[in-house]
Structure 1
Amino acid sequence: MTASEIRELDPQTVERIAAGEVVERPASVVKELVENSIDADASRVTVAVENGGIDGISVRDDGYGMERDELERAVEKHTTSKIRDIDDLESGVATLGFRGEALHAIGAVSRLTITTRPRTGGEATELTVEGGEVTAVRPAGHPPGTTVEIEDLFYNVPARRKYLKQPSTEFDHVNTVATSYGLANPDVAVALEHEGRETFATTGSGDLQEAVMAVYGREVAEAMRSVSGDGLPEGPLDSVGGLVSHPETNRASREYLSTFVNGRYVTASVVREAIVDAYDTQLAPDRYPFAVLFLSVDPATVDVNVHPRKLEVRFADEDAVKDQVEAAVEQALLEEGLIRSKAPRGRSAPEQTEIQPDTGESETEQRDDEPGTDRRKRVSETSDDAAESPNTETSTANRKTDSVGDFSSSQTATDDTVEPETQRERKFQDSGTQSRIAETAESDRFESLPSMRILGQYEETYVVAETDDGLVLIDQHAADERINYERLKNAFSGETTTQTLAEPVDIELTAREVELFDSHTNALARLGFRARLVGDRTVKVQTVPTMVAESAGPELIRDVLSEFVGGRESAADTVEAAVDDLLADLACYPSITGNTSLTQGSVVDLLSRLDSCDNPYACPHGRPVIVEFDTEEIEDRFERDYPGHE
């Protein structure tokens, strides 16, 4: 590039580039406008979108409104009513939006109409902007407050419009923003309409749990528990409050972790991580609770300008923030008796996971068919007992594999009276046994996997084995997950068969899930889920895919719906991709978990089945199954190459 090729961009191009940093998709517009409405002291905000927001967006409020000269000023570049100078910016912005800055950016990439009337009285004014240019300003009829209408978003930036996703995906993002601000402001009546149909509407009564019911439904609202944040550890947060759900009320997506910093909806990863960590083992690794959590902090200690759309924030002391949030949520769950040091990771009914008084009876003494006894709970707690008593032989792994039906081979457990010829089926040698390793194990040969001699388990989670080239660690859960995934995939490769439920099951959905259901009913049918919407928030499920009937119930339909918002180009691609994601998640249900004691025979069987997989080296979610340490690396770590060693 020569000096003559370097040129200054024209103002119009600069404005469109800058607008693109703020206005990424329809949801970006909704976020900016709803924030403006709330900053304008609105008691009612209604968002309406067409075609997922691609064709039209309208945000109406009953806030302060603007005089004509204020309105003309508001759509100009670098104007705002929120800050005056650099000192205000450095000390932290306490309001949500930057009204003029957002309106100018939106107007640069759309056809924008603003109609407003001051709450204090006076005439209403209508102003229109096209591609950044004001085209008209005139008197109009309008009640006190402001209505902002956007048509043809990105009409003058075709490259950006081209990369918008399917309308259902774009609306899902709009829905997330609208519901988040409805939850953040329970004293404001927030409503969302799509294609003329109301998706949800909060009452504005000020009751947070009531707002949760409007957005997520009665089932979720009744499962929410209050977070008071009393007795927080030292840190930058002044307070932590809100609601979190019972561990058994969860989803496969993080979408329902709503976090707010000084009233601003943000996706602060450190806060989300702290919420999930507070549940400890009470949640499975791929499940997430519902949360509506409010953090109050000195604005000067948090940077809201990390992201152009102010969606991410950065705290001056993130470790301390995490500790404070985790402590607040954990305390709320402890007070409700919902967490403990040893807890199941499954999806049993809420009444089966509450902490009950100790009766002195061991869980393992109960019969498998005893009413009210949860099988997954017994397996988990038996594993914990085995970890505490290393000399006790258990059949945890065998009962675990028994519970997975066709997905895993079950092994027959043996006790201390086992005959010598069946010694191979026993759990690995106790630590006190003095026999040599070479006398207790032999090399097993495989086709895809390297030949290996099994040495034992590490932390009852990883299989340790010796190969010709060194040592390997095998993640037993990831290995079993890969096996189950490939079996499920093979089963699904043919014609989808369904199993009719003895009685149709009613499943309550959130506002988001209802919209997804409405958009993907046919895709669900292709997967084997036949269901219909009854009422505003309930679907009646009549059939499920046969291949999942043993490992998951009709409630799985909620997780499947979330898979349909990947933004792929065609419905067929979306369904196929959703199928693959679904199978990967389903493979996790019956798989051997970590902290599970295995017999040597069951390990050999696991590795044999893994060896027959098309890809034995990664689980369906992409995690490694096997980690290898070759001899050279091991010798280097022990510095066996020092001079004179030979």
Structure 2
Amino acid sequence: MSRNENEIRTLDPATVDKIAAGEVVERPASVVKELVENALDADAAEITVEIDAGGIERIRVADDGVGMSEEAVRKAVQQHTTSKLRSLSDLERGVSTLGFRGEALYTIGAVSRLAITTKPRGGETGTTLTLAGGEIEAVEPAGCPEGTAVEVTDLFYNTPARKKYLKRESTEFDHVNTIVTRYALANPGVRFALEHNGREVFSTTGQGDRQATILSIYGREVARGMVPIEEVAEGPLDGMSGYVSDPETTRASSTYISTYVNGRYVRTNTVRTAVVDAYGTQLAPSRYPFAVLDLDVPPESVDVNVHPRKMEVRFGEETAIREQIEETIEGTLLDHGLIRTSAPRGRSTPDETEIAPGSADRNRERSASKSGSPTARSSRASAEGSKHEHDGGSSGIEESDVSSASDIPVDGEETGPRAHEGSRFGAPTRQTAFGEPEGPSYDRLPDLRVLGQLQDTYVVCESEAGLVLVDQHAADERVHYERLRAELAGETTTQALVSPVELELTAREAELFASYEDALAHLGFVATREGRTVRITTVPAVFDATLPPDLLRDALAECVSGDPGDTVEATVDDLVGDLACYPAVTGNTSLTEGSVVELLSALDGCENPYACPHGRPTVIRIDREELAERFERDYPGHAERRD
């Protein structure tokens, strides 16, 4: 390396500006966040957000706030200008406002083409200022209403490396939708309207009623399931308000837990964990409630400057705040008598549990009669947590005296009145287990002899190399995934539903449906949408039961992330991976010996038997050498003794 290449040098201002902008402006949603915060600080009663192509091509945020004079708007696009701070002490005390009008505009203008049209309240003439790459191009008088409209086009046009990492249009808009939703929920007294590609996504009333705002954004079904927080437990918070959902109004991700600190939307694991923990066992694993929580915190006790975009905060009394939030929500749920009508996946309520040999079948049948059809049951039983099982065993190893040869099929569906009966794994004292012949020979899997089940979740096997554990859900999921892929590889056969399935979607879910409508049609789902209500009339023939609403909703949520170059085929593959979860046998399910052998044989026939479609392992092995080490069979002197 030459001396010149290793020399310490000062970066030119343009490069510094672009680096600084990248810390704040990560994607179109970052721009929307800054501009919406500015509008709220400008005392706006109405805020309209217009987005084209997910915000990659155009973003426009208009408000009816105080507006700016020509002199003010000229200053606002300069570096290190703000209408919020007066001294360092303001920053150290914790700023009570949201956006820094000048700071945001300068930062956004450094990586885009920017046009600001503004008129102060009571002013006679407005001003339009255009900016490109941080440089002012023109300042002209303009006829416009009072308030400010900021239009951003060609985001990252001068930083192609950043633009390259933007996701596809639907993904970027989903982030924008989330940001606008969060601020609309935090400010029910402000009328918000969000448009994408000229079509209204949602609009709120702005009448100060937060439940009405929830209705506008999430729909009637969710709004009915929300209850207000009326009594706050003792703790360091000055106050806490908002709504939480009943235990059955849930989704497969935590996207719908919205947290605000002194009116500012923030991400905080402390609050999210407290919310979920407050529900205890009323929530199935990896199901998340809806929540809109506004925490009133003394400004000096929270640090809002731990994140460049002020999206995260640090609490001074984190543990005490978490306990106060959890106690408040738990009390709210108890006060409203919100007892779940069905037990979470893999668990039974006390009055449903009967600990006795052979009782698993009766418990399962009783649970099925309470929770509806097998399809609906498997829908509740599977979600994000099905792909990341962490259930604990609850019933131990059971033995049945029933000698019927009928076993549980691999796909978990009943094939007859005695489908759940069969020879279960023997108790530990069953000596014949050690003398049984070797299991079947496999092509991809090692030769295995089934020993039993652990916690009704893992199949325990012996191989020549050591101990083998098979995750029964991950294994069955892989089998279903490859079966679905094979059946959908050719021309998709469809079947009409006797009773169409209707979904009431949130604003976000409606946008996702629009984005993936082609992919769903490719799979064989025929659906029509009016507003936020979707009617599914036809499904692929491979799904031989009515599609439960939660399945489609969760599958759509899983499709949020992706690369801009994703094809319809790639999207379909993601959906198939999610759909394979639902019919797969879950953890905490007692299986017969025959059904385990069938499952292992089907897994052996897969192209990739070692991972589920989401990448989780299906099989793990503990080598005999590791077992020997664990039991310290190599201690000095052992070699001279008998094994």
Out of 454, 459, 465, the residue aligned to residue 463 of structure 1 is 459
2:516 aligned with 1:514, yes or no? no
Out of 37, 40, 44, the residue aligned to residue 39 of structure 2 is 37
SS in 2 for 1:113: strand
C-alpha contact (below 8 Å) 1:529/1:557 kept by paired residues: no
Question: Superposed, which structure 2 residues align to 1:493-512 within 5 Å?
Answer: 493-512=489-508
Aligned to 1:626: 619
Aligned to 1:605: 598
Out of 171, 178, 181, the residue aligned to residue 180 of structure 2 is 178
Q: Taking every aligned residue pair, what percent have the same amino acid on both sides?
A: 56
CA change 1:328–1:626 in 2 (3 A) is farther
Distance 2:481 2:148 in 1: 53
C-alpha contact (below 8 Å) 1:610/1:616 kept by paired residues: yes
C-alpha contact (below 8 Å) 1:227/1:329 kept by paired residues: yes
Aligned to 2:573: 580
TM-score (norm. length: structure 2): 0.84
Structure 1 residue 408 displacement after superposition? 9.8
SS in 2 for 1:588: coil
Distance 1:332 1:404 in 2: 40
Whichever residue aligns with residue 31 of structure 2, its letter is V
Aligned to 2:18: 16
CA change 1:341–1:281 in 2 (3 A) is farther
Structure 1 residue 391 displacement after superposition? 6.5
Distance 1:194 1:333 in 2: 37
Distance 1:589 1:31 in 2: 36
SS in 2 for 1:260: strand
SS in 1 for 2:567: helix
Question: Superposed, which structure 2 residues align to 1:120-519 within 5 Å?
Answer: 123-228=125-230, 230-231=232-233, 237-285=237-285, 287-316=287-316, 321-339=321-339, 343-345=343-345, 364=362, 374=372, 387=394, 393=400, 401=408, 404=411, 412-414=419-421, 425-430=422-427, 433=429, 435=431, 438-439=434-435, 442-519=438-515
C-alpha contact (below 8 Å) 1:277/1:326 kept by paired residues: yes
C-alpha contact (below 8 Å) 1:244/1:291 kept by paired residues: yes
Deviations 1:388-416 (A, max 9, x none): 68767499xx99946956799998555xx
SS in 2 for 1:214: helix
Aligned to 2:105: 103
Distance 2:407 2:44 in 1: 55
Distance 1:619 1:327 in 2: 38
Whichever residue aligns with residue 634 of structure 2, its letter is D
C-alpha contact (below 8 Å) 1:187/1:207 kept by paired residues: yes
Distance 2:211 2:43 in 1: 22
C-alpha contact (below 8 Å) 1:563/1:578 kept by paired residues: no
Deviations 1:320-348 (A, max 9, x none): 554444444444334444446981339xx
Distance 1:20 1:265 in 2: 20
Distance 2:437 2:302 in 1: 58
CA change 1:447–1:523 in 2 (3 A) is closer
User: Which stretch shifts more, 613-622 or 326-335?
Assistant: 326-335
CA change 1:366–1:479 in 2 (3 A) is closer
2:520 aligned with 1:524, yes or no? yes
Structure 1 residue 564 displacement after superposition? 4.9
CA change 1:557–1:114 in 2 (3 A) is same
Structure 1 residue 510 displacement after superposition? 1.9
CA change 1:600–1:522 in 2 (3 A) is closer
Deviations 1:402-437 (A, max 9, x none): 6956799998555xxxxxxxxxx5333335x37475
CA change 1:532–1:523 in 2 (3 A) is same
SS in 2 for 1:24: coil
CA change 1:100–1:332 in 2 (3 A) is same
Distance 2:418 2:465 in 1: 30
C-alpha contact (below 8 Å) 2:523/2:540 kept by paired residues: yes
Distance 2:45 2:401 in 1: 62
Distance 2:415 2:603 in 1: 11
Whichever residue aligns with residue 454 of structure 1, its letter is V
Whichever residue aligns with residue 506 of structure 2, its letter is T
C-alpha contact (below 8 Å) 1:337/1:354 kept by paired residues: no
2:567 aligned with 1:543, yes or no? no
CA change 1:374–1:523 in 2 (3 A) is closer
Structure 1 residue 580 displacement after superposition? 1.9
Distance 1:278 1:537 in 2: 31
Structure 1 residue 516 displacement after superposition? 3.3
CA change 1:448–1:250 in 2 (3 A) is same
C-alpha contact (below 8 Å) 2:397/2:453 kept by paired residues: no
Distance 1:622 1:389 in 2: 28
User: Which stretch shifts more, 153-162 or 332-341?
Assistant: 332-341
Structure 1 residue 280 displacement after superposition? 4.4
Distance 1:9 1:400 in 2: 72
CA change 1:374–1:506 in 2 (3 A) is closer
Whichever residue aligns with residue 615 of structure 2, its letter is G
Whichever residue aligns with residue 609 of structure 2, its letter is P
Deviations 1:167-220 (A, max 9, x none): 333222221111111111111111112233322111111111100111121122
Aligned to 1:422: none
Whichever residue aligns with residue 451 of structure 2, its letter is L
Aligned to 1:115: 117
C-alpha contact (below 8 Å) 1:16/1:108 kept by paired residues: yes
C-alpha contact (below 8 Å) 1:405/1:550 kept by paired residues: no
CA change 1:343–1:504 in 2 (3 A) is closer
Deviations 1:21-76 (A, max 9, x none): 21122211111000111122222111112232222222111223234333222221
CA change 1:467–1:496 in 2 (3 A) is same
SS in 2 for 1:499: strand
SS in 1 for 2:487: helix
User: Which stretch shifts more, 106-115 or 247-256?
Assistant: 247-256
CA change 1:40–1:253 in 2 (3 A) is same
Whichever residue aligns with residue 633 of structure 1, its letter is E
C-alpha contact (below 8 Å) 1:461/1:593 kept by paired residues: yes
CA change 1:449–1:273 in 2 (3 A) is farther
User: Which stretch shifts more, 463-472 or 179-188?
Assistant: 463-472
Aligned to 2:73: 71
Structure 1 residue 297 displacement after superposition? 3.0
Structure 1 residue 577 displacement after superposition? 2.2
Aligned to 1:420: none
C-alpha contact (below 8 Å) 1:338/1:354 kept by paired residues: no
Aligned to 2:388: none
CA change 1:20–1:453 in 2 (3 A) is same
SS in 2 for 1:585: helix
C-alpha contact (below 8 Å) 1:560/1:578 kept by paired residues: no
Distance 2:173 2:301 in 1: 34
Distance 1:318 1:624 in 2: 36
Whichever residue aligns with residue 275 of structure 1, its letter is V
SS in 2 for 1:517: helix
Distance 2:493 2:263 in 1: 48
Distance 1:110 1:85 in 2: 30
CA change 1:588–1:119 in 2 (3 A) is same
Whichever residue aligns with residue 374 of structure 1, its letter is G
Aligned to 1:92: 94
